Amino acid sequence: MSENALKSEKALKAIDTWVNIDHKWDEIPSWLVDVQKDYFNISELMSHITMDDMLRLMDDAGVEKSVLTIYGHKQPESTLEYVRQHPDRFALSVDVNPSGLMKEVWKLEELVDKYPVVMARVVPFALDNPIPPSHPHYYPLYAKCIELDLPIAINTGICGPVRPSDAQNPMHLDQVCYEFPDLKVCMAHGADPWWDVAIRLMLKYKNLRLMTSAYSPKYLPKQLIHFMNTRGKDKIIFASDFPLLQPKPIIEQAQNIGLSEESLENYLFNNAENFFFSKRNPRK
């Protein structure tokens, strides 16, 4: 029996570390409208999915937990209800604007105290003034994440929307990881076209990871697959960026990209469990 057949017989479980339930914008940015239409061919990115439908979708895909995105300045009550009713199935990530400095940091701290927040999140290209993660405006956020023992996800790679992408070059994280060695950082949305740089940085820094949100596994580069099977078995984390990608088909894809059974289980579940859901030790 082939290795792929054995994998299909074994029930796989996953953690989806990037799920969007509600996008609450006062005005939808034009770049977001364009990317859903032109890049992903999706017409209803802003639609809300019911809790029951989300749970059915997760069960059908083998997703045990989903990390839902909220924003520091706005927390949709409908999204918070997911974690209140099903804390075993849902956790939160908080999107933070580092240029808001301490106001944003205090809001993050308040949300961490009240809800099961497992990461902070920054999307540099989406900021009004895109600044790289090496910019001093990020430093209060990094200090607070270390204090809270809270991982932070930062988008890397050239973005799909027509926005400047230099701020998302993963080389900016070289200085960050050097200056803040206790900071747990996860690159997000891949690192195209800088995959080799991202891999080299992960080899260099023990607290650096990468999630493949918004990437179909079939498009992951060969050098990343090799890394996942060798020195990077604990480094790469699954995510969908739902509803841009549906979890079930990309989990099925992941079983056919050349990963060993151990590497596949790490990618889909174990690495996220260890990095985002392990017991935290905040300094307070």
Helix (H, G, I), strand (E, B) or coil at 122: strand
Chain position carrying tokens 């790490």: 266
Tens of pLDDT along 25-42? 555 666 666 666 666 666
CA atoms within 13 A on the CB side of 8: 8
**Res 260: pLDDT:** 98
Q: What does pLDDT average to over the chain?
A: 91
For residue 259, pLDDT beyond 80: yes
> What does the pLDDT average to over 57-69?
97
* Measured distance CA(2)–CA(4) in Å, rounded: 5
Tens of pLDDT along 131-190? 999 999 999 999 999 999 999 999 999 998 888 899 999 999 999 999 999 999 999 999
Tens of pLDDT along 117-147? 999 999 999 998 999 999 999 999 999 999 9
For residue 211, pLDDT beyond 60: yes
For residue 122, give the nearest of 183, 81, 78 by alpha carbon.
183
Domain made up of 3-273: CATH architecture: Alpha-Beta Barrel (3.20)
At residue 1 the predicted structure's pLDDT band, cuts being 50, 70 and 90, is very low
In degrees rounded to 5, what are phi and psi of residue 171? -60, -25
Helix (H, G, I), strand (E, B) or coil at 91: strand
Cis peptide preceding 136, ω within 30 of 0: no
Burial of 23 (0-12, 13-18, 19+ CB in 10 A): middle
* Measured distance CA(120)–CA(114) in Å, rounded: 14
| CB atoms inside a 10 Å sphere around CB 113 | 9
Cis peptide preceding 132, ω within 30 of 0: no
| pTM, 2 dp | 0.91
For residue 116, pLDDT beyond 80: yes
Tens of pLDDT along 227-248? 999 999 999 999 999 988 999 9
Query: Which residues, in sequence order, are CB contacts of 236 under 8 Å at separation 6+?
Result: 209, 210, 211, 212, 224, 227, 228, 266, 267, 271
DSSP letters for 200-268: HHHHH-TTEEEE-TT--GGGS-HHHHHHHHTTTTTTEE----BTSS-HHHHHHHHTTSS--HHHHHIII
For residue 2, pLDDT beyond 70: no
